[in-house]
Amino acid sequence: MMHAAVLHEFGGAPRFEKFPEPEPGDGEVLVRVSAASLTPLARWVTTDRDFARGREVPFICGTEGVGVLEDGSRVSFGVVRSPYGAMAEYAVAPAKLCTPVPEDVDDVTAAALMNPGVSAWNALSWGAKLEKGETVLVLGATGVAGKSAIQVAKLLGAGRVVAAGRNEQVLDTLAGFGADATIPLGQCDADLAEAFRGAAGENGYDVVLDYLWGRPAQVLLDALPRNFLVTSEVRYLQLGHSAGERVSVHANALRRTGVTLGAGAPPRIERLRELYPVVLAHAARGELRVDVEPVGLPEIEQAWRREVPGRRLVVVPEKGR
């Protein structure tokens, strides 16, 4: 038996308790877990049946992490086989989803960057096809994913990055992550629309990465200038919905603004294996950073219910034991 974060009811919080140790199957490896990131995806799996992908309780929470293989090598890994997950002393993972971690990157940082770093890199380079010198707007920039997106956009050559977020305390720190301008989302609709238009500059936004949807997206789409002859494209990627699941889009907001709506689909396995070493290499050079807070596995039930704006909670099985 091992200790793990075990979910017993969808919509609830996992509990620290004992669970049978996993045994690797065909194509899998056993991982002694060092760190597992508490990501929005990890939470969605426990609340949204679309993300649960057939899982039935009880199961161990966590979709990805960092650990050590039986041969002593340190790797990042993704977990796909229920009832096991990353928030445990041991996990099983497909060997093809294991990626070596550079010595210069610690376990907690590597675990925290896996989801937001790869997601932002994939969205900007593949989904939005960002070109050097273009202007990027990040909706939800005060979250971990948004802060990562700001840095990745700059690394990929964005000329200007506008950061819009709900937490004004975190928003004030984003210049240090590469933001050229910031927009607080707590303004009334009219002021927020004016702020979006003002920050766009003469050439407008080339790329929008939206981690929020809901009201911020509604205001932005309504605020974009509408022309009979559209001369430029706004590549809009919808990546999350923490501010609301639905918006009402007027037909002219698409036809007469040049907006093309898309979704930041998860990268294929081959793409994941290509991108994660790139993300970690930049982290090792100090060019990509994430604010983290390690928590012990025994603290999982309390940590699960906490809000830590701009920081990523990372579960460390050995901490607090």
Q: Where are the domains of the chain?
A: 2-101+291-316, 115-263
- Token output for 34: 């060092």
Q: Contact, 171 vs 198, CB < 8 A?
A: no
pLDDT value of position 281: 92
Report pLDDT digits (tens) over 186-205: 999 999 999 999 999 888 99
Q: Contact, 151 vs 289, CB < 8 A?
A: yes
Nearest to 46 by CA among 81, 85, 17, 73: 85
pLDDT band at 230 (very low <50, low <70, confident <90, very high): low
Instruction: Classify domain 115-263 at the CATH topology level.
Output: Rossmann fold (3.40.50)
pLDDT value of position 270: 78
Mean local confidence (pLDDT), 173-180: 97
Q: What is the CA radius of gyration of the chain?
A: 20
CA 258 to chain centre: 27
Percent residues over pLDDT 90 in the chain: 74
Mean local confidence (pLDDT), 57-72: 96
Whole-angstrom CA distances from 122 to 150, 251, 262 are: 13, 28, 13
- Token output for 41: 């995806």
Q: Which CATH superfamily is domain 2-101+291-316 in?
A: Medium-chain alcohol dehydrogenases, catalytic domain (3.90.180.10)
Q: Does the pTM exceed 0.75? A: yes
Report pLDDT digits (tens) over 243-276: 898 998 888 777 777 888 888 666 677 787 889 8
pLDDT band at 231 (very low <50, low <70, confident <90, very high): low
Q: Which of 26-35, 225-234, 238-247 tops mean pLDDT? A: 26-35
pLDDT band at 229 (very low <50, low <70, confident <90, very high): very low
Q: Using the structure block, give the residue that is written with the tokens 């050097």.
A: 132
Return the higher-pLDDT residue of 206 and 254: 206
Q: How far apart are CA 252 and CA 132, in angstroms?
A: 29
Report pLDDT digits (tens) over 99-124: 999 999 999 999 999 999 999 999 99
Query: Is the confidence at residue 320, as pLDDT, over 60?
Result: no
Q: Contact, 134 vs 158, CB < 8 A?
A: yes
Q: SS3 for 114? A: helix
Q: How far apart are CA 228 and CA 179, in angstroms?
A: 32
Q: Using the structure block, give the residue that is written with the tokens 């994913």.
A: 145
Query: Is the confidence at residue 221, as pLDDT, over 60?
Result: yes
Element (H, E) at 118: helix 107-122
Query: Is the confidence at residue 86, as pLDDT, over 90?
Result: yes
